[in-house]
Structures are given as C-alpha cells and as structure tokens.
Structure 1
Amino acid sequence: MRFSEPLLEGRLIQRYKRFLADIELSTGEVVTAHCANPGAMMGLKEPGSRVLLSRASNPKRKLAYNWEFVDVPAGGGPHQLIGINTSRPNHLVAEALREGRLAPFARYERVRPEVKYGRASRVDFLLETDGEPPCYLEVKNCHLMREAGFAEFPDCVAARSAKHLYELADMVEAGFRAALVYVIQMRAERFDVARDIDPAYDKAFRHALAAGVESYAYTCRISPEEIAIDHPVEIVTPR
C-alpha cells in the first residue's frame, strides 16, 4: 500500500486519551493527530520519538492527521519504523489476497469482508471458492516487541480478540476452515502470544489451535512511501 502523498515527519509530544497524540512537526507547528490504536503501545509512545503522519483523506474530519509510524529501537534492537495504525492490517491483507501473496489462501476466488458469524460477531474476511468449504479469516495487528526480533500479541488484555478465537474454533468444528493472520507492522524474526500480559488470550489461542484453527504471522515492509506485507515468520507457541 503506497501512501498517496509524502508522510509528514515530527516529534511526539504526548499520546493521551488513547486516541489522541500531540506532535510537533518538522516545521515547528504543533498538531493533534488521530492515534488509531487502543492498546498499551509499550515502548512506542515516549515523548521526543520521531513519528510519521499521513493526512486524513476526508478534508472535513476534525483531526487532519493520522499517526502512522514511530521510529524506535524495538526490543533494544536497532531503530526501525513501526506501524501503530491498527486500521492498516485489514487493508494490507486485502491487498495481499488480491495479489495472491498469501500462499495459504491463494486458491480462494472470492473475498468478502466483514461477514456476520458466530455470536453477534463479524469475521474480517470470508474466503470462498467453488467446491470447498469457506475459510473464516481473522486479522490481528501486532506492534509489541520486548526482545529484539521477537514480536508478540497482545500488548494489553484483549477479551474481544479471545472471544473471536473461540468462535473460529466453533467454525472448524462445524466443518469450515478458519485461520488467524497476525500482521506484524515491523521487522521481526519470530512471533508468540504475550501470555504474561493476557493469560486468557493465551488459553483461547491454544484452544483454537487444538481445534484446528490455523495461525500465520507476517512481517511488513515499511518505508515513508509504503507499507506492505512482506514474509512469514515462525510462530513459536507450543501446542
């Protein structure tokens, strides 16, 4: 996904009320940007951090900027750009599905977003092709790195995400295919569930794996010009 115009550089002043961030642009102007991230953002919200913003596509929107990336030494490793905008992963997966870049799902001919299923939920994508059971595909954003090269999810208690895991397991038991894709908005070599942060999510994840839900994790290629799903990494959770 290429950005329609160059991103703006600035320095983070503060992130507050979860969805707001004050940022000093390189011009010296101070703006308030939308922070599309409800998580704890550990290690990603330190004042003075270099950040990159996009302009909102709707000129009438109250907040004219979106916080996209932060440049930090993730997990004590080298500096890298990390995507904090949790609205991006679904778009990135949709793009990769269209282009046939997600090998486990390449055979599906039709992709439907936001399909109702389970107990009053919506699955991110329903993948269909003639002659096969559909695949229920759930997408999760990952931006937590406490050890260099090692990505984790979630970064806070994620009760809603745990609920989705049980519902995906139900779909497998009903004869369908179900899968999780973790979109890691940074460079990483491995992925695991942050069970110390949310033991209930870890329990749900293991239940889903035991039921036959598939799981995949992909890093992203990030630059000030674009972000795109890059390559798969190992998920190290023991079954």
Structure 2
Amino acid sequence: MKFKTPLHAGIFQKRYKRFFADILVGDVVCVAHTANTGTMKTCLGEGWPAMMSFHDSPTRKLKYSFEMINNGKTWIGINTSLTNGLAIEAIQNGAIKELQGYQDLKPEAKIGLSRIDILLSNGDHEQCYVEVKNVTLIDDHGHCLFPDSVTERGLKHLGELLELKRQGIRTVMLYVVQREDCHSFKLEQTIDPAYCKKLKEVIAEGVEILVYQCKMSPEEIIIHKKLPIV
C-alpha cells in the first residue's frame, strides 16, 4: 500500500487524550490525530522520528494523521485504519498464500448485527470469514505480542468466528504486524487473560490463525512475510 501523498516528517513529543499526538516539525508543534485505541506500548518514545499524513478537508478538526514512528531499528505503523486495506491488498496480490482460491472479496461483511472484516467466497457454497487485527507490541526477546490492551471488541469477534466455524464455515484470525524488529508471534497473557483464553478455545475448535509481517517505509507498507507462532 503506497501512501497517496508524501508523508510529513517530524519528531514525536507525546500522546495524550488517547487520540492526540504532539509532533514537532521545525519549531512548530503539530497536533496529529492518532487512530489507534491501544496502549501503543513499545511504540512511542519522546524524540523519535515520526511521520504524518496531511488531509485538507473542511470536515476534519485535525489536518494531520499520525502514521508511523521509528525506534532506531524499524518504522512502526500505528495507524490502525490502514490495517484492513493492507490485508485486502495482500490477499489480492497473492502475498497471503492461505487465503487464495476465492473469486470474490467483500469488506465489512455483515453477520447478524455485527460485521467481520473480510468475506472471501466462491458463490454461496464456499465461504471464508477473516477478522484482521493490527500488532505493534513487542517484548525483549523479539516476539510481537497481542493484545496490547483489554479488547472486549476483539473478544466478541473471536466468539463470532467460532460460531461461524461451528456452522461449518471456514474462519481465519489474521494478525498484521506493522514493524520489522520481531521474528515470531506470541500471545500477551497478562494484559487480557480473557482474550487469550478465548483465542486458545477457538484455535482448538478449528479457527485458523495467521500472522503476517509488513515491510515498512515512509513511502509504502507491504505485507510480505509469514511469522511463526510460539
């Protein structure tokens, strides 16, 4: 996924009120919208290089969106609104081998009163529902971790995938890792034990788990490599 316009470089100062970040550009502090509801632990350091996109829309209160930050080892993609698009692009270009062989792709597929991120299908006879989550948390051993905060919504999605699986429909939980300084995926057991317990349950009943890592740059983010689960 290429950024539609060149990103603006700055220096990260702080995040506050959940959706706001101060980024220093020259002598000016720009307030950027942060589309990430997680803790962003291991992602934010004062003085780290940061990248923002600019949106000159009269409907936006903040003209800048916080896109990426660099910890000295890798760019880290923190804009979670891009994650589904990254997954769709990777499915369409064949980068996610396990999700090939479907003729149709529908984003935000409705099931009951809820929605699953992606529906892959070959008519009405072969379907695959894919839920997508963004991963940015890491530990000191090079594992990327999920979740980075308590996620009631994520827990609900696991339950929905399980119900579909019990109906004989293929279901997949896809974790998209937007950083390059990690080599494998691991559950973060302490932050949200209920989510971890549920994920183990759905895996035992046949819900598939895939973890793919992105190649990161200020020009483009590409899903390019499968990571092992430990």
Q: Do both proteins adopt the same fold according to a TM-score greater than 0.5, normalized to the shorter chain?
A: yes
Gaps of 5+ in 2: none
Farther-moved stretch of structure 1 (163-172 vs 50-59): 50-59
Is the aligned partner of 1:164 residue 2:157?
A: yes
Seen in structure 2, the aligned counterparts of structure 1 residues 131 and 166 have a Cα distance that, compared at 3 Å, is closer
- Asked whether the 8 Å contact 1:219–1:229 carries over to 2, the reply is yes
Aligned to 1:92: 86
Counting only pairs closer than 5 Å after superposition, residues 9-20 of structure 1 correspond to structure 2 as 9-20=9-20
> How far apart, in 2, do the equivalents of 1:60 and 1:179 lie?
36
Q: Structure 1: any 5+ residue segments left out of the alignment?
A: 74-78
Residue 177 of structure 1 and its aligned partner are, at CA, apart by 0.4
Pairing partner for 1:227 from 201, 221, 227: 221
Which residue in the other structure is 2:128 paired with? Answer: 135
Moved more, 206-215 or 51-60: 51-60
Provide closer, same or farther for how the CA distance between residues 80 and 13 of structure 1 changes in structure 2, counting only shifts above 3 A.
Answer: same
Which SS does the other structure have where 2:45 is aligned?
Answer: coil
Per-residue deviation, 1:57:
6.2
User: Following the alignment from structure 1 to structure 2, what is the Cα–Cα distance between the partners of residues 58 and 128?
Assistant: 36
CA displacement, residues 122-146 of structure 1 (integer Å, 9 cap, x when unaligned): 1001110147431110000000012
Matched residues in 2 for 1:158 and 1:51: separation? 26
Distance (Å, rounded) in 2 between the aligned partners of 1:137 and 1:17: 31
Count of residues paired in the alignment: 229
Amino acid at match of 1:136: Y
CA contact (8 A) 1:133 1:175 kept: no
1:6: which partner in 2? 6
Partner of 2:138: 145
In structure 2, give the amino acid aligned to 1:23.
Answer: I
Name the CA distance, whole Å, in 2 between partners of 1:16 and 1:60. 22
Please give the alpha-carbon distance, in whole angstroms, between the structure 2 residues aligned to 1:189 and 1:146. 11
Is the Cα contact below 8 Å between 2:45 and 2:71 reproduced in 1? no
Match for 2:171: what amino acid? A
Render the CA deviation track for 1:177-230: whole Å, top value 9, x for unaligned. 000110000112100111111110101101110110000000001111111111
Whole-Å Cα distance in 1 between the matches of residues 165 and 172 of structure 2? 9
How large is the RMSD of aligned CA atoms in angstroms? 1.5
The higher relative CO (CA closer than 8 Å, separation ≥ 6) is in 2
By how many angstroms is 1:34 displaced? 0.5
1:76 paired residue number: none
Query: Is residue 177–residue 213 contact of structure 1 (8 Å, CA) maintained in 2?
Result: yes
Aligned to 1:48: 47
Task: Give the share of equivalent positions with the same residue, in percent.
Answer: 41
Give the CA deviation at 1:148: 4.4
TM-score normalised by structure 2 residue count: 0.95
Mapped partners of 1:9, 1:59: distance in 2: 23
TM-score, normalising length: structure 1: 0.91
